[in-house]
Amino acid sequence: MTDLPALLDFVWSRLSHGVGDRTHPARHPTLATIGPDGPELRTLILRHVDRDAGVLELNTDMASPKVAQIGADPRVALHVWVPSDQLQIRMRATAVVRQGDPELFARLPPQVRANYGGAPPGAEPGPAPADEDPARFAAIRLTLHRIDALVLHEPRRRAVFAAPDWRGRRVAP
Ligand SMILES: Cc1cc2nc3c(=O)[nH]c(=O)nc-3n(C[C@H](O)[C@H](O)[C@H](O)COP(=O)(O)O)c2cc1C
């Protein structure tokens, strides 16, 4: 896999594995936002990939600080490291938060739905478990505009792909 289109295919195939395979490292990307005191990082579950649209989706709690951060500045980054492929994927995107799919919410296990209730993430915990609030179930839609792929297998290679043509160019690793 030496040509640029093949490398981009490789990246998208690994992102797709993250959605479909609970054990794949791309299942748990790190999302970076710009917070009031500087960068903020956290792990999220990758829920949906649409290569044609250049879109990734994650779920979160509307009451979590990252939602306000995205509202204040929608520029985000996402990071994935796939050890078995020696592949690092760094993505830049514009994020939009919207109401999550209520049918999907209803299908989530009770212990997951329970996360969408009570004190907001990062706040002091409430005295007792609170009822889940489906209105807090949110989807974060990331529209990618840059993908930086680094493969550490020899020969090492790194390329940057950018919207709208995603043709890509090689850069030094
Ligand atoms: C393995 C793992 C998966 C997680 N998945 C999610 C997720 O899908 N959505 C989410 O909002 N938080 C998820 N979290 C919790 C976040 O990392 C974070 O603690 C929480 O969303 C609050 O982040 P914030 O204070 O930056 O808003 C996950 C944490 C771990 C360790």
- How far, in Å, CA of 1 to CA of 107, rounded? 39
Nearest Cα residue to atom 22 of ligand 1: 121
pLDDT value of residue 2: 57
Can you tell me the distance from the alpha carbon of 117 to that of 108, in angstroms, rounded to the nearest whole number?
Answer: 14
Query: Atom 30 (ligand 1): residue with closest C-alpha?
Result: 43
Give CATH for domain 4-118+131-171: 2.30.110.10
Angle at Cα 29 formed by Cα 58 and Cα 4, nearest 5°?
Answer: 105
Give the residue, by CA position, lying nearest to ligand 1 atom 11: 60
Which residue shows structure tokens 């007792």? Answer: 128
Q: Which among 41, 60, 70 is the best mutation to test ligand 1's pocket, defined by most ligand atoms within 8 Å of the CB?
A: 60
- pLDDT confidence of residue 75: 98
Q: What pLDDT, in 10s, does the model give residues 18-55? A: 999 999 999 999 999 999 999 999 999 999 999 999 99
Whether this prediction's pTM lies above 0.85 is answered by yes
Q: Is the omega angle on the peptide bond into residue 155 within 30 degrees of 0, that is, cis?
A: yes
Place of tokens 């990939």: 49
Q: Which atom of ligand 1 is nearest to the CA of 66?
A: 27
